[in-house]
A and B are shown apart, each in its own frame.
Chain A
Amino acid sequence: MIYDPIDIALILVKIGLVFVVILTLAAYLVFAERKVLAWIQDRKGPNRAGPFGLLQPLADLIKLLTKEDFRPIGADKWLFYLAPAMAAIPAIMIFAVIPFGAPLTLFGHTVQMQVSDLNVGLLLFMALSSVAVYGVALGGWASNSKYALLGSIRGLAQLISYELSMGLSLVPVVMLARSFRLSDIVNAQSGCWFIVYQPLAFTIFLISIAAECKRIPFDLPEAEGELVAGYHTEYSGMRFGLFFVGEYINIIVLGGLAATFFLGGWHGPWLPPVIWFTLKVFSFAFLFIWMRGTMPRLRYDQLMHFGWKVLTPLALVNIVVTGWWLVLRG
């Protein structure tokens, strides 16, 4: 195989860009969440560091980096140190397959606005999101603490259960687009977004990604009323920061995927594609923050029953109906 140095340079630039943009966005999403929650609860929110509190993420970063990196006695040393990275890295890796803009032509090179256009892109997302479970599971287990262990057992069960309905809700998308390649899925929606054909699949996917992000109303793995902070109870400093930022990276990435699968990805009138994509991601992020501000937490058995007895059967029925519809339409 021959490698074109320009292509390699372009890919490196894209990887670097995605890293910087995603991490910055994740940091500011934390800030945005605090501001929006404050607005919902009629407070002011962070407003001391810089104008309108805009330097708050930077201040938080410095605080987290300078804190003591503490490890409880009896903790499993290596797994305790590795778990935060296992939680954050798969989340950011998923973004490699998301197309965030229309392909550009620069100096005779067609540049895909996507790090890697795999023909199994959708499956890579499923694979990485199923592997992200290890961060939660090992983090809580290695802490050698009851609260953390309970949190990670809950997290494991929840993530496995909702991954199922998430995967099943994506089957109709693949049936409509006739491809696992994310750029094909986006192109198949140039006329009509899949949310029009598949409102049920979209709803199931949205609920499942809220559970995958471990957000309210599905935040049982870290329910602070009962489990202190769940699986990251014993973590401090930047290791806690990685778990925390990983969660916000997850929101951005899953929002981007929801936009790609159901809302036409970067397609949209008047505005440039990248702006459309960003707008869609931001609206999903806003929706998640809004849900946190207004919803109560589910009970654990409700969570499990809802996932297994409502979402999964609905997703299966939806697949069969979509199949018949596609056959009858010809």
Chain B
Amino acid sequence: METYLFYILAVVTVIGTILAITEKHPVHAIVYLVTSFFSLATIFYLLAAPLVAMFEVIIYAGAVMVLFMFVIMMLDLGRSDEARRPELKQWILPIILAGIILTSIGTIATGYAAAPHASGSLTIRDFAETLFRKYGVAVELVSMQLLFAVVGALYLGRKAKS
């Protein structure tokens, strides 16, 4: 049962992501991407990681993509006729990067017999203890970085004094 569900969801995720890339209209692309996030979240749930599943939906589908859509709607960027296929020159760097990633995935996939299986469901308490006790300093540093970004955005967005 879980295996069938996984394959259905995996196909939906991959197709949704491909359509999000090939779709010319930005709003449609967002809808496809949100669909793929949803099925990805369900896959996380099947892998006994309900917390990750919820974060996937709250942060990516619910916050990041909504902000993208807000910007597209506010600035009226939905002109699909302006979207062109990139030139051949622009393809080179993405192809090199994709090559590196695919080779790494291939190495990992052939190196290990099976993916390490999660033993039982991870509780929120375990997750929080690892994150805020064991890696507490790292979390603080990352949040400082976010704070810098917020201050920077405020500085850039300030109104010029008249």
Query: Does the CB pair A137–B54 fall under 8 Å?
Result: no
> 1/0 per position for A106-124, CB-CB distance to B under 8 A?
0000000000001110011
> 1/0 per position for A140-151, CB-CB distance to B under 8 A?
010000000100
Q: How large is the interface on B (under 10, 10 to 19, 20 to 34, 35 or more residues)?
A: 20 to 34
Instruction: With CB as the reference atom, state the residue of chain B lying closest to A157.
Output: B70
Query: Does the CB pair A123–B66 fall under 8 Å?
Result: no
Tell me the dominant secondary structure on chain A's binding face. helix
CB contact under 8 A between A130 and B57, given known A118-B50, A157-B70? yes
CB contact under 8 A between A180 and B31, given known A130-B66, A153-B70, A160-B66? no
Bound complex: CA A128 to CA B38 (Å): 11
Query: Does the CB pair A127–B73 fall under 8 Å?
Result: no
The answer to the question of B58 belonging to the interface, with a C-beta cut-off of 8 Å to chain A, is yes
CB contact under 8 A between A120 and B50, given known A127-B58, A130-B63, A137-B66? yes
The answer to the question of B153 belonging to the interface, with a C-beta cut-off of 8 Å to chain A, is no
The answer to the question of B124 belonging to the interface, with a C-beta cut-off of 8 Å to chain A, is yes
Bound complex: CA A137 to CA B50 (Å): 27
Bound complex: CA A128 to CA B50 (Å): 14
Q: Which of B27, B54, B58 contacts A138 (CB 8 A)?
A: B27
Bound complex: CA A131 to CA B63 (Å): 9
Instruction: With CB as the reference atom, state the residue of chain A lying closest to B53.
Output: A120
Instruction: With CB as the reference atom, state the residue of chain B lying closest to A159.
Output: B66
Query: Does the CB pair A153–B73 fall under 8 Å?
Result: yes
> 1/0 per position for B22-40, CB-CB distance to A under 8 A?
0000011001001000000
Query: Does the CB pair B58–A130 fall under 8 Å?
Result: yes
CB contact under 8 A between A120 and B73, given known A79-B27, A130-B61? no
Query: Does the CB pair A124–B54 fall under 8 Å?
Result: yes
The answer to the question of B69 belonging to the interface, with a C-beta cut-off of 8 Å to chain A, is yes
Query: Does the CB pair B70–A120 fall under 8 Å?
Result: no
Instruction: With CB as the reference atom, state the residue of chain A lying closest to B41.
Output: A127
Chain A residues within an 8 Å CB radius of B21: none
Bound complex: CA A134 to CA B123 (Å): 30
Bound complex: CA A163 to CA B55 (Å): 15
Chain B residues within an 8 Å CB radius of A127: 54, 57-58, 61-62
Query: Does the CB pair B62–A141 fall under 8 Å?
Result: no
Contacting residues of chain A (70-89) with chain B, CB-CB under 8 angstroms: 76, 79
Query: Does the CB pair A134–B34 fall under 8 Å?
Result: yes
The answer to the question of A253 belonging to the interface, with a C-beta cut-off of 8 Å to chain B, is no
The answer to the question of B160 belonging to the interface, with a C-beta cut-off of 8 Å to chain A, is no
Bound complex: CA A76 to CA B123 (Å): 43
Shortest Cβ gap from A174 to chain B (Å): 9
CB contact under 8 A between A79 and B54, given known A153-B70, A156-B73? no
Chain A residues within an 8 Å CB radius of B82: none
Query: Does the CB pair B51–A1 fall under 8 Å?
Result: no
Bound complex: CA A188 to CA B124 (Å): 18
The answer to the question of B154 belonging to the interface, with a C-beta cut-off of 8 Å to chain A, is no
Q: Please provide the 8 A-B residue pairs with the shortest distance between their CB atoms, ordered closest to farther.
A: A130-B62, A123-B54, A127-B57, A120-B50, A127-B58, A120-B54, A156-B70, A127-B54
B residues bordering A, Cβ < 8 Å? Answer: 1-2, 27-28, 31, 34, 50-51, 53-55, 57-58, 61-63, 66-67, 69-70, 73-74, 78, 121, 123-124
A and B contact pairs by CB, cutoff 8 A, 23 listed: A1-B1, A1-B2, A3-B1, A79-B28, A119-B121, A120-B54, A120-B124, A124-B54, A127-B54, A127-B61, A128-B57, A130-B61, A131-B34, A133-B62, A134-B34, A134-B69, A137-B66, A138-B27, A138-B31, A141-B69, A153-B73, A153-B74, A160-B67
A residues bordering B, Cβ < 8 Å? Answer: 1, 3, 76, 79, 118-120, 123-124, 126-128, 130-131, 133-134, 137-138, 141, 149, 152-153, 156-157, 160, 163, 180
